[in-house]
Structure 1
Amino acid sequence: MKKLHIGLLPRIIIAIALGILLGNFLPGGMVRLFVTFNGIFSEFLNFSIPLIIVGLVTVAIADIGKGAGKLLLITALIAYGATLFSGFLSYFTGVTVFPRLIETGVPLEEVSEAQGILPFFSVAIPPLMNVMTALVLAFTLGLGLAQLKNDTLKNAARDFQDIIVKMISAVILPLLPIYIFGIFLNMTHSGQVFSVLMVFIKIIGVIFLLHIFLLIFQYCIAALFVRKNPFKLLGRMLPAYFTALGTQSSAATIPVTLEQTKKNGVSADIAGFVIPLCATIHLSGSTLKIVACALALMMMQGIPFDFPLFAGFIFMLGITMVAAPGVPGGAIMASLGILQSILGFDESAQALMIALYIAMDSFGTACNVTGDGAIALVVDKIYK
């Protein structure tokens, strides 16, 4: 018998639906059981965040810091610029549109402990270091490893990266549906679920429209360089877009992205360099989602969301997102650290960010990889 495989997104949807349904019927003792699990899982997640940053960012920076010199620098700068643009586009759109869609004052702190329900017990798991220490350590090690001729320490860093990726894929992601179930169970129990869900639906709609606008804008810019019809260029990339929708992985979509980019007239050498690199460093769609969701949750709680704060967050997010592994939900895991350190997100807000992000993971990945084709067009024109 072939084992039935249910993807992460369907499991998250099932968890949310069950949490809303059972939250109206389960007795307080059962709710308390999931409050206990969520408390332990939150502690483990906080313990894991610095390890995720060190394990993933170190190798990513080490790999980017070597290679094709000027070509690498130009591609990285364009990709980083595109990521920053999507972040600021998301922020300014959210500041303009979200106040009409969001009801402020939703007490997200009740997500962790619904109206006085306390866990049976708690387990403290202090992290080895704080988030900023982990970021500085990762940057220092990554830049240092990029200059080393000996591969011994690089191989050790890659082994540690493998451990972290396996921890995400084998422990954190499988337990996420239970965690999300507990969140929505508590939200239903505290009577907050419907107002939060309505915000989710509205925010997802706005983000989807922003994705479409972002892709059209990227290909209009690329079309100015290559003097071709932007909609024809974008149309040829649709196979990569829909492949990414299914795989939820930029890395798994590279062969299709590469083939369609060549059909747009990009030389094989440039496409072969730019597409695999941008699968790692160009994350416009993911950045757009995270900024929009973070802004929405801050508005819901009545937390100040001034421009200098979000500008710093977006600049750091563009760097930290390079650490996103090729697994569904990896980008949000890599960004939890700066959500906590810069925006002050607690466990409840982080959990809701995870739920929002996973719900749109396919569309963000599809936006990322489709935009890679636009960057390849620009880089190819520069080098012709």
Structure 2
Amino acid sequence: MKVSWKNYAFPLILLISIVIGSFIGYMSESVGIALKPIGDLFLNLLFVVVVPLVFFSIASSFANGGGENFGKMIRNMSGVFLFTGIISAVIMLLVMKIYPPAHGVNIPIVKPDATEDLSVAEQIVNTFTVSDFSGLFSRSNMMAIIVFAVLVGLATNKAGEKADIVKKLLSSGNIVIMNMVNYIMYLAPLGLGAYFAYLVPTYGKELVGSYARVFILYYVTAILLYFIVYSIFAYMAGGREGFIIYWKNVIPSTLTSLGTCSSAATIPTNFESAEKMGVSKNVRETVIPLASALHKDGSVMGGVVKVAFAFGVFHMNFSGVNIYLVTIGIALLVGMVMGAIPNGGMIGEMLILSLFGLPVEALPILAAISTIIDPPATMLNATGDLSATMLVERMTNGKKSA
């Protein structure tokens, strides 16, 4: 199978721009500081578009789901997505606790203000809901936006033909917003390069070693998840035969995802592989497209890395059951809201910043992590969709994939 190097062009351009920006900042601090407004312009455009992007992408996915036995299938699919996502998050969380990704980093960025001491019940209410509709227009209430988008999508789907116009509106809105994101991302090389020109002289060179640490930690963990955890999922779906049939047919999707660096580009290959695995037509044609948008084990793992990295950079205490649960929850959301397109991780970084109240200086720092982990993360996202589809087939139709 030929590798499409065109799909690696944008990550390479981002890396080159970051290197050039870092070099400029290293050579001239004054030039680096002068370039900061360009980076601010890029970040502001992203923050403006994040709320409608999250709403339309999630609402349209749920509103336009279909196929026979959709209700049972969507319940099984949701359970499988949640189960595999939690497993991925917990594994990476353990790795981050044993090997902190930002160990030794000392960057004097202002820490976020301490949050008000609230009870667990109050925190849950304030996190998932707002008291007024206007509150949904703020990125500081991201989880409430997501809950609202899911409810709108489910209600629209439930209405059937009566809500066709709403379905079209949500789908069209999603397309329009994604086009806006594409336009904004044209500025990413310039914006990130400019911001790194500002970060290097301002905060030093401590990040370089930590990025190498992130690279090693993520790639090794991704390989282990790919070979061990996905084998277990395949065995759960079909026993020994499921294990064999999975590894007999997963390689094309593996190569396609690595070659294109896009979960969406792997959908046709996943359709073909799922059919050869014995997954029924209604299951594969419903689960695989939704999985491409909502099920991303590799991105979930990346979300945990970014949260742990941000905590290390700001010298915040990354421990305690509450922190672990919030980190897992955020990682699951990061995996859900990221578009099935190359470099969709930028939305995940904005979600992390919004939920933890981190300053905007953290965005380009976390964005570099997305570029570093993009190929293996995409591979896990795409191949994990196949093992998840096998599990949904077993739960929905009560038979092994074979």
Q: Would you call these one fold, judging by a TM-score over 0.5?
A: yes
Instruction: Report the TM-score, using the length of structure 1 for normalisation.
Output: 0.84
Note if 1:180 corresponds to 2:192. Answer: yes
Instruction: Report the TM-score, using the length of structure 2 for normalisation.
Output: 0.81
Partner SS, residue 356 of structure 2: coil
* 1:248-279 CA distance string (max 9 Å, x none): 22121111122223334444554334323322
Aligned to 1:158, which of 142, 153, 171? 171
Give the equivalent residue in structure 2 for 1:39.
Answer: 40
Once residues 140 and 71 of structure 1 are traced to their aligned partners in structure 2, the CA distance between those partners, rounded to angstroms, is 18
Partner SS, residue 214 of structure 1: helix
Give the equivalent residue in structure 2 for 1:129.
Answer: 138
Once residues 229 and 34 of structure 2 are traced to their aligned partners in structure 1, the CA distance between those partners, rounded to angstroms, is 49
Aligned to 1:363, which of 371, 376, 395? 376
* 1:151-176 CA distance string (max 9 Å, x none): 222222222211210111111x1111
Give the equivalent residue in structure 1 for 2:322.
Answer: 308
Note if 1:321 corresponds to 2:340. Answer: no
Give the equivalent residue in structure 2 for 1:227.
Answer: 239
> 1:232: Cα distance to partner?
6.8
Note if 1:88 corresponds to 2:90. Answer: yes
Which amino acid letter does the alignment assign opposite residue 131 of structure 1? S
Once residues 174 and 33 of structure 1 are traced to their aligned partners in structure 2, the CA distance between those partners, rounded to angstroms, is 21
Contact 2:8 2:261 in 1 (8 A): no
Aligned to 1:138, which of 142, 145, 149? 149
> 1:331: Cα distance to partner?
4.0
Once residues 248 and 109 of structure 2 are traced to their aligned partners in structure 1, the CA distance between those partners, rounded to angstroms, is 42
> 1:342: Cα distance to partner?
2.7
Once residues 165 and 24 of structure 1 are traced to their aligned partners in structure 2, the CA distance between those partners, rounded to angstroms, is 35
Contact 2:65 2:286 in 1 (8 A): no
Which amino acid letter does the alignment assign opposite residue 180 of structure 1? L
Aligned CA-pair RMSD:
2.7
Give the equivalent residue in structure 2 for 1:118.
Answer: none
Which amino acid letter does the alignment assign opposite residue 271 of structure 1? R
Give the equivalent residue in structure 2 for 1:280.
Answer: 293
> 1:317: Cα distance to partner?
4.1
Give the equivalent residue in structure 2 for 1:206.
Answer: 217
Which amino acid letter does the alignment assign opposite residue 392 of structure 2? V
* 1:279-319 CA distance string (max 9 Å, x none): 22211111101211220221132112233134124224424
Alignment of 1:1-384 (within 5 A): 7-26=9-28, 28=30, 30-64=31-65, 68-98=70-100, 102-108=103-109, 128-132=137-141, 133-148=144-159, 149-171=162-184, 173-190=185-202, 192-193=204-205, 195-215=206-226, 216-228=228-240, 230=243, 233-234=246-247, 236-306=249-319, 307-319=321-333, 321-333=335-347, 335-382=348-395, 383=397, 384=399
Partner SS, residue 150 of structure 1: helix
Once residues 65 and 92 of structure 1 are traced to their aligned partners in structure 2, the CA distance between those partners, rounded to angstroms, is 37
Contact 1:49 1:336 in 2 (8 A): no
Distance 1:367 1:344, change over 3 A: same
Q: Which runs of 5+ in 2 are unaligned?
A: 1-5, 112-135
Distance 1:277 1:44, change over 3 A: closer
Q: Which runs of 5+ in 1 are unaligned?
A: 111-126
The farther-off stretch of 259-268 and 286-295 is 259-268
Contact 1:317 1:338 in 2 (8 A): no
Contact 2:222 2:380 in 1 (8 A): yes
Once residues 297 and 320 of structure 1 are traced to their aligned partners in structure 2, the CA distance between those partners, rounded to angstroms, is 15
The farther-off stretch of 5-14 and 315-324 is 315-324
> 1:211: Cα distance to partner?
1.1
Which amino acid letter does the alignment assign opposite residue 51 of structure 2? P
